[in-house]
Structure 1
Amino acid sequence: MPREQNCHASSGWVPQIDIPSGARVLSNGQTSAEEQIAALHREFYCMTMRMNIDCSGCYQKIRRALLEMHDIESHLIERKQQKVSVSGAFVPQDVAIKLRRRTNRRVEILELKEVDAAPSGP
């Protein structure tokens, strides 16, 4: 019995993607222009979340996930209060979703403060 072959592999067909001229495609599929626009819309936030931190393994998993997020400038994990605080220029919902996916733990946003990034001077 003959095996079915992938029709795309045998015909040499390659999907066409419309990319604006001068844009560079990154490994995640976004163009550099899109990435720059997304970076402009990020504000500086301080966010506090509630997460179950039952053991040192859970603590390490949360810590590792936070360290992999490049938008987060600082973080604080409070084991006894079961709270995680982060600050940086990020989209709050995206951080909570990434933490949920990477740690497989429920994430509840308790507090969200937008902080002015401009220095106050005399």
Structure 2
Amino acid sequence: MSIVGERIKKYRELKGWNQHKLAKALKKSGKAVISNWETGRNDPSLAELRMMAEIFDTTVAQLVGEVPMLEEPREQYIMIKKDDLIDLQRKALELEADRINNLKEQLEQAQKSGETADTPES
């Protein structure tokens, strides 16, 4: 099986389609065409790869193995610059540190209140 064939099969399965449904979407005569692609007996044309990339919401580069394949449909992902992601992580850590400090202060106040209540009154 070729990389292209493996990718076509994987994207088809991720979409929940059988070979017949993909063949119909591509206006092919039958599922044998898809089977031949997936097993590496034949390769799809560039035009067919473009149609499949559109159907699978991916790129031709991913279908032919030039870039890593996303295991889930692309709508599950967003693109963000590395520096923006680092800034978001830093802000999240700062907020979490503030939340922890607030909880510590509340705990200390509760403990002081408990100590005051436990001391016998004169």
Output the TM-score relative to the length of structure 2: 0.25
Query: Which has the bigger relative contact order, CA under 8 A and spacing at least 6?
Result: 1
Which structure: greater strand fraction? 1
Which structure: greater helix fraction? 2
